């Protein structure tokens, strides 16, 4: 097992079987720090679950016991190029697992023999004795043999493994290692007898391992999990739940996400995705706390002397919390990346950390790596967008990345809030409020969203309601009923009847742009694009940024063959509602018209 010094992060390798239940005091040779090492809690064999083998020809089959895999190697039913996985999500080539190298090395050194026996290579001229094979080994159900692969070390001699270590360092005992009191390594030479002796020794190792697995399965299964990269299904589930909560982006949701990631780590303390999740969640919270401290600092000059003292204390506490959270994020992200350099979450988390620290040169290669690992990852786009959102000269690029993040994950509320913030900084309040309305409809307790919306919306002035004349009140009720009936008729493909009701509603409320928008869509359904254009334009005179009217005009001009005007209005719709309900249709129309 790998152990890290709590002070200087130096790493050591311990044999967990030699660690007593009460723990083992250890002194770090680098910094002299003394700390205690405890043996890990090993899962029972019942929870070990099944492993999957995927052959090069695509066949997939499963096994539970490590001895089964070792036997298949000896029987040549699996090759170095076959792959193994616990969950089916991450696969590892058998030939890349050092603990299985001995089995492959010895087996591949043998010729493929006919069933009747074999003729050893003699060195004399006299008659040679026929050697028979050992009794038939238990076989696995027949599977196609994968193509033979040439051993990478053909013609090269390598020693068998031994537990003797002159250095005195602790070493973890792998499934391929056995105690050996001999000072000499067993060398597999070119002679036939030597090879068969080596193979018999290998089978003895397999048998010994099988006996150990039968009596103490908890000693081998977790080690196989570790070397091949299997992940407990419950840990995967907690990480998935953590990212769902983190996507909601409220303070409460971020705390819930951290709790989920910690549950995953309680199951698998070395799970890189869980460590990266902790890093991303802690960093998000650190950034929000730092923003609060900055906002309070701006208010200091307007406060009295006593209020300033209390406010300054609060600011100092927030900055301390932000620093501690960012440090935890760094340690978790670094550990995740060290354990798995190919982890999307780990690369993204460390990129976000350097973004938070404004170390963009260190951020960029990590972001590029994350892009390579998952080109369509929404959170990678989020990190890119947030990294430039505070630069007024880069606001359009920030909008593009944040829109990209929302297209890939519409529930990524951090991206939606950031987009609203950028629009607010551009003084595009209507766009900002559009995104904030969507955000707060989905996450009503989003603290920062509530605060930003309060800044952008004018204060509501309450006045005593004046009683309306009865006739005017009845008129409004009649208008609402007409609009509701007209909408239902149009949705039922009864455009002619709907048009009549829209016209009556227009008499009751001539300044309502929705009336003319509804009429315009009816004209389109009736294949009258010219009339539709006229009524949509009337709606825009009353509400210039009415997205539905721009969408209708784009469609009407497209039908009439006016590509330029159609493109203009489809693009205007996307400018107003980049994530609106008709945004995919508008983008598709733009692509078709620009061909």
Q: In this structure, are 525 and 434 located in the same domain? A: no
Task: Specify which residues 37 forms β-bridges with.
Answer: 24
DSSP-based three-state secondary structure for 3:
strand
d(CA 422, CA 390): 8
d(CA 167, CA 20): 22
Q: In this structure, are 296 and 419 located in the same domain? A: yes
Q: What is the pLDDT of residue 123?
A: 37
Q: What is the pLDDT of residue 336?
A: 94
Q: In this structure, are 258 and 226 located in the same domain? A: no
Q: In this structure, are 521 and 416 located in the same domain? A: no
Quick check: is 521 in a domain? yes
Q: What is the pLDDT of residue 265?
A: 93
Q: What is the pLDDT of residue 121?
A: 39
Residue whose pair of structure tokens reads 């492993």 in the numeric block? 51
Cβ 185 vs Cβ 160: under 8 Å: yes
**What is 345-400 written as a DSSP string?**
HHHHHHHHHHHHTT-HHHHHHHHHHHHHH-TT-HHHHHHHHHHHTT-GGGHHHHHH
Quick check: is 362 in a domain? yes
Quick check: is 120 in a domain? no
Q: What is the pLDDT of residue 228?
A: 47
Q: In this structure, are 174 and 273 located in the same domain? A: no
Q: What is the pLDDT of residue 465?
A: 55
Quick check: is 194 in a domain? yes
Angle between helices 429-442 and 413-425 (to 10 degrees): 160
Q: What is the pLDDT of residue 342?
A: 92
Q: What is the mean pLDDT of each run of 10 residues along the chain (595 residues)?
A: 70 69 74 70 46 82 81 85 78 81 74 46 38 37 38 35 33 34 34 49 54 47 47 87 94 93 92 95 94 90 87 91 94 94 94 94 94 93 94 92 92 94 92 91 91 79 51 54 85 86 83 88 88 88 87 91 90 87 89 87
Q: What is the pLDDT of residue 385?
A: 94
Whose CA is closest to 566, among 548, 582, 554? 554
Count of beta carbons in the 10 Å neighbourhood of residue 372:
11
Overall number of domains in the chain: 4
Q: In this structure, are 409 and 482 located in the same domain? A: no
CATH number at residue 505: 1.25.40.10
d(CA 557, CA 525): 14
DSSP-based three-state secondary structure for 524:
helix
Q: In this structure, are 220 and 238 located in the same domain? A: no
> What dihedral angle (degrees, nearest 10) is formed by the CA atoms of 344, 350, 354, 356?
90
Q: In this structure, are 355 and 408 located in the same domain? A: yes
Quick check: is 314 in a domain? yes
| Phi and psi torsions of 96, nearest 5° | -90, 0
Q: In this structure, are 240 and 217 located in the same domain? A: no
Parent domain of 16: 2-37
Q: In this structure, are 82 and 216 located in the same domain? A: yes
Residue whose pair of structure tokens reads 């950028």 in the numeric block? 422
Q: In this structure, are 569 and 437 located in the same domain? A: no
Q: What is the pLDDT of residue 105?
A: 77
- Angstrom CA distances, 82 to 61, 153, 285, 343, 515, stand at 11, 18, 43, 22, 66
Quick check: is 150 in a domain? no
Task: Specify which residues 84 forms β-bridges with.
Answer: 53, 92
Quick check: is 131 in a domain? no
Q: What is the pLDDT of residue 207?
A: 56
Quick check: is 205 in a domain? yes
Q: In this structure, are 258 and 347 located in the same domain? A: yes
Verdict on whether the full-model pTM lies above 0.85: no
Count of beta carbons in the 10 Å neighbourhood of residue 462:
6
């Amino acid at each position: 097992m790998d152990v890290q010094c709590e002070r200087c992060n130096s790493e050591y390798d311990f044999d967990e079987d030699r660690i007593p239940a009460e723990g083992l005091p250890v002194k770090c040779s680098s910094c002299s720090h003394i700390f205690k090492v405890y043996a890990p809690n090993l899962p029972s064999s019942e929870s070990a679950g099944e492993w999957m083998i995927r052959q090069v020809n695509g066949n997939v089959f499963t096994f539970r016991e490590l001895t089964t895999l070792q036997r298949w190697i000896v029987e040549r039913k699996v090759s170095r190029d076959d792959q193994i996985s616990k969950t089916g999500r991450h696969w590892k080539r058998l030939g890349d697992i050092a603990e299985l190298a001995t089995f492959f090395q010895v087996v591949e050194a043998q010729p493929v023999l006919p069933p009747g026996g074999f003729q050893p290579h003699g060195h004399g001229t006299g008659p040679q004795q026929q050697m028979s094979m050992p009794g038939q080994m238990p076989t696995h159900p027949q599977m196609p043999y994968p193509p033979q692969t040439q051993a990478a070390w053909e013609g090269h001699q390598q020693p068998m493994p031994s537990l003797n270590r002159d250095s005195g360092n602790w070493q973890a005992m792998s499934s391929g290692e056995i105690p050996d009191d001999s000072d000499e390594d067993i060398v597999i030479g070119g002679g036939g007898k030597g090879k068969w002796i080596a193979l018999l020794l290998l089978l003895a190792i397999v048998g010994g391992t099988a006996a150990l697995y039968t009596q103490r399965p908890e000693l081998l299964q977790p080690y196989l999990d570790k070397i091949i990269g299997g992940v407990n299904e419950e840990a995967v589930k907690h990480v998935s739940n953590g990212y769902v909560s983190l996507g909601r982006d409220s303070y409460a949701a971020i705390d819930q996400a951290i709790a989920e990631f910690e549950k995953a780590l309680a199951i698998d303390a070395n799970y890189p995705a869980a460590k990266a999740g902790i890093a991303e969640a802690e960093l998000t919270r650190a950034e929000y706390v730092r923003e609060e401290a900055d906002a309070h600092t701006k208010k200091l000059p307007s406060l009295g002397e006593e209020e300033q003292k209390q406010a300054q204390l609060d600011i100092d506490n927030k900055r301390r919390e932000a620093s501690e959270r960012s440090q935890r994020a760094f340690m978790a992200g670094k550990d995740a990346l060290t354990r798995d350099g190919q982890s999307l979450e780990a690369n993204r988390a460390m990129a976000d950390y350097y973004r938070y620290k404004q170390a963009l040169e260190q951020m960029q290669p990590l972001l590029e790596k994350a892009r390579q690992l998952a080109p369509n990852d929404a959170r990678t786009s989020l990190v890119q967008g947030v990294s430039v959102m505070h630069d007024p000269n880069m606001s359009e690029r920030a909008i593009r990345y944040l829109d990209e993040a929302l297209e890939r994950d519409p529930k990524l509320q951090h991206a939606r809030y950031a987009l609203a913030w950028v629009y607010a900084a551009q003084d595009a309040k209507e766009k900002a409020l559009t995104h904030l309305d969507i955000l707060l409809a989905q996450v009503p307790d989003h603290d920062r969203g509530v605060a930003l919306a309060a800044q952008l919306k004018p204060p509501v002035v309450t006045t005593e309601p004046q009683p309306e004349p009865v006739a005017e009140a009845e008129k409004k009720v009649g208008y609402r009923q007409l609009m509701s009936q007209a909408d239902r008729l149009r949705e039922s493909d009864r455009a002619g009847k709907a048009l009549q009701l829209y016209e009556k509603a227009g008499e009751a409320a001539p300044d309502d742009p929705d009336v003319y928008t509804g009429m315009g869509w009816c004209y389109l359904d009736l294949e009258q694009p010219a009339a539709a254009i006229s009524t949509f334009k009337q709606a825009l005179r009353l509400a210039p940024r009415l997205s539905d009217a721009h969408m209708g005009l784009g469609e009407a001009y497209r039908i009439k063959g006016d590509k330029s005007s159609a493109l203009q209005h489809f693009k205007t719709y996307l400018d107003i509602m980049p994530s609106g309900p008709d945004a995919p249709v508008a983008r598709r129309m733009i692509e078709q018209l620009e061909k």
